[in-house]
Structure 1
Amino acid sequence: MKTLLLNPFKKYTEKQLILIGIVFTVLGSLSAYWFNARYDGVLDLHFATNVAIETPFIENAVNIVLLSFTLYMLGIYINKKTRIADVLSTVLLARLPFYLLTLINISSKISNIERKVITSNPYDIRFAPSEIVYLLVLSILILVFIVWHIALLYNGFKVAANLKTTNQKILFAVTILITEIISKILFYTIL
């Protein structure tokens, strides 16, 4: 089970992983539409009041292409034998935790709390005890899912590019952060 959740790249072929990743991307995009989620960055998930059906599909496409491209370029730098199919399967599958996190906005609970925070005086925000508990549990869950996302990215890229040295691992982390910055600039200036 641990291999399936954290390192399916050892068990399945890149074709199988790409197919599974595409299915999850479509389902995750539909889920984002149903639960008003936005994937407005490579490492981002936010909730809105109304999300058009095409928005999550476009955002996912941009995030997948951008992250696949930057990781592939890094992979080629590290190991000339890196294949785009391996990197693409990694990126597609690593987005699964974000797709599952859209479910936390069932009944627009997160959107309602967010609206409460935005419209309230910052010095006089009052949360019900149930909201505090919900936010605490949710914070822990989100951290777990972000760690899961990074673990999938790392394990997949490690296989794809034969990642070994500490410097290569640092470059991997820096590449993800730079890609996040680029994605934010794209989403807030162009899209």
Structure 2
Amino acid sequence: MIKTLINPFDNLTDNQLFFLGFAGYFVHSIFSNQWNYIADGIIQLHQISSMPLGYSLVNNAINTLVLTLVLFIYGKIIFSKTRFIDVLNVVWFAQLTQVFLAIILFNPFVQKHTAHIQIAIENHDFQLKTVPKYELVLMGGMGILALFGIFYFFYLLVTGMKIAMNIKKKTFTILLIVITLLVDAVLKFSYPYIL
């Protein structure tokens, strides 16, 4: 199990990666619909009022397909034998971390405590003196887990793309991360999502 978490791309078959990635995409879309958040970028999740399941499916597909296409083109430039399905499997599998992040950040229990912090800020309590300490500790812990989730996303993306694109140089790895962050920024600012 630990080997699979460290390098799933060496320990799972293409079919297993595809199935897990697709299942993660679908679960993420259901969570987005039920817990009222949108993945409006590659590594961004934001609270919204509500969204139909079909919109969640489309919005998550936009993230997956845009990142996959951009990284596939990058892969073809540096390694002509890069296959689309390999890049898709890596992107889908890495995006499983968003399911983890959604469970941590948007489940009803956490949202109840987040609402207390939001109310305090709306009432100009910027030092959060009206919020119980245990809620602040809980939110701090959720923040640390969220940072770990983002780090793990990039770890999985780099680990998988090293195999899919036959990346040997650190320069190409750094460029992969920069490209992913640029795609995230372009998606955030162009906002091709439906609400």
TM-score, with structure 2 as normaliser? 0.88
Letter in 2 for 1:24: G
CA RMSD of aligned residues (A): 2.0
Contact 1:49-1:111 within 8 A present in 2 as well: no
Counterpart position of 2:140: 136
Counterpart position of 1:169: 173
1:54 aligns with 2:54: yes
Deviation (angstroms), 1:137:
0.7
Letter in 2 for 1:109: K
Summarize the alignment of residues 18-97 of structure 1 with structure 2, pairs less than 5 Å apart: 18-97=18-97
Report the Cα distance in structure 1 between the residues aligned to 2:184 and 2:133, rounded to whole angstroms: 34
Cα–Cα, structure 1 residues 178 and 50, in superposed 2: closer, same or farther, change >3 Å? same
Contact 2:37-2:46 within 8 A present in 1 as well: yes
Structure 1 stretch 63-72 or stretch 178-187: which is displaced more?
Answer: 178-187
5+ residue gaps in structure 2? none
Question: Which 4+ runs in 1 deviate beyond 3 A?
Answer: 122-126
Cα–Cα, structure 1 residues 25 and 117, in superposed 2: closer, same or farther, change >3 Å? farther
Counterpart position of 2:118: 115
TM-score, with structure 1 as normaliser? 0.89
Kindly tell me the number of residue pairs found equivalent between the two proteins. Answer: 190
5+ residue gaps in structure 1? none
Deviation (angstroms), 1:75:
0.6
Report the Cα distance in structure 2 between the residues aligned to 1:117 and 1:69, rounded to whole angstroms: 43
Deviation (angstroms), 1:64:
0.1
Cα–Cα, structure 1 residues 112 and 172, in superposed 2: closer, same or farther, change >3 Å? same
Letter in 2 for 1:96: L
Contact 2:90-2:156 within 8 A present in 1 as well: yes
